[in-house]
Structure 1
Amino acid sequence: MSDRLLAAHLTAGPAGVPKGLRTVATAADRDSLLAHTQAASFKDLLAKERLRFSQHAEQRLRQRGIVLQPDQLDRIANAVDRAATKGAKDSLVIFRDIAMIVNVPNRTVVTAMDGSSVKDHVFTQIDSAVVVA
């Protein structure tokens, strides 16, 4: 037991409960709970922010019937991570027959196209391309 807790045993509060012990236990519990809550919230926040879709991109995905599963989104987010490590700003990400323009610093898919829309399309204002395996 620490000296601080031993000293707390010597000081009794109005109800005979050691003041210091009560305060230390409550503060430790609160800090532990706060740390756990913050860690969970931060983890949730990171998970949600791995990849965002602009309103335009969401609209294009719906129009073209493109549905991405969580594991596919993880693979695309990993591709964006790789592009970020190379200093990319605006990247063309190709996943199967889907092409997406991604603003890498903001981790935002700006637009998305399926295979039929990609044919004869010229991509401009990009500085990199990533093919997701």
Structure 2
Amino acid sequence: MIHVKQSYSTIHGIRQPIQDEPAKKTAKQESEKDFGQVFSQKMEEVQFSKHAARRLETRNIRMSDEVKARLQDATSQAREKGMKESLVLVDDLAFIVNVKSNTVVTAVNDVDRGVFTNIDGAIIN
């Protein structure tokens, strides 16, 4: 038979075992921290509307990781400046981004002939 030493506390004359919960709380706090970091990171990622995704596909526009990062950076800059609907130019690509929802509303690869309306700012990145 194995005897385990257990700590007890007495409250109003009633003896109760003290349970070790700090380790569980620490693991839970780490889990919540990880979730919070992942959630924040996902919320910052630029999403593409169905229309924008279709435009990219039909025009055979391939987005490299570098272009995605520059688009993300420009969207963050637009948010810092208080923009709501922004034109983001990355090389020869143009994106209209709804800054609040982090969503690319449309994408264009022929910027020379483009007329862009309903925007409140432009970021050239």
TM-score by shorter chain over 0.5:
yes
Task: Give the deviation of 1:101 after TM superposition.
Answer: 0.1
The runs of at least 4 aligned residues of structure 1 exceeding 3 Å deviation read: none
Structure 1 segment 88-107 matched on structure 2, within 5 A: 88-107=83-102
| TM-score of the superposed pair, with normalisation by structure 2 | 0.79
Task: Give the deviation of 1:46 after TM superposition.
Answer: 2.1
CA shift digits 1:38-97 (9 cap, x unpaired): 222222222222211111111111112222233432221111111111110100000011
Task: Pick from 97, 107, 122 the counterpart of residue 129 of structure 1.
Answer: 122
Q: Measure the CA separation in 2 of the matches of 1:35 and 1:58.
A: 38
| TM-score of the superposed pair, with normalisation by structure 1 | 0.75
Q: Which has the higher strand share?
A: 2
State percent identity of aligned pairs: 32
Structure 1 segment 50-65 matched on structure 2, within 5 A: 50=44, 51-65=46-60
Q: Which has the higher helix share?
A: 1
Structure 1 segment 34-113 matched on structure 2, within 5 A: 34-50=28-44, 51-113=46-108
Q: How much is the aligned-residue C-alpha RMSD, in angstroms?
A: 2.1
Figure out how many residues of one structure are paired with residues of the other and give that number.
Answer: 114
Task: Give the deviation of 1:10 after TM superposition.
Answer: 4.4
Q: Which moved more, 1:84-93 or 1:27-36?
A: 27-36
Are the aligned partners of 2:8 and 2:17 in contact in 1 as well (CA < 8 Å)? no
The code of the aligned residue for 2:121 comes to: S
The code of the aligned residue for 1:89 comes to: K
In structure 2, stretches of 5+ residues that fail to align are: 1-5, 10-15
Q: Measure the CA separation in 1 of the matches of 2:49 and 2:7.
A: 59
The code of the aligned residue for 1:108 comes to: T
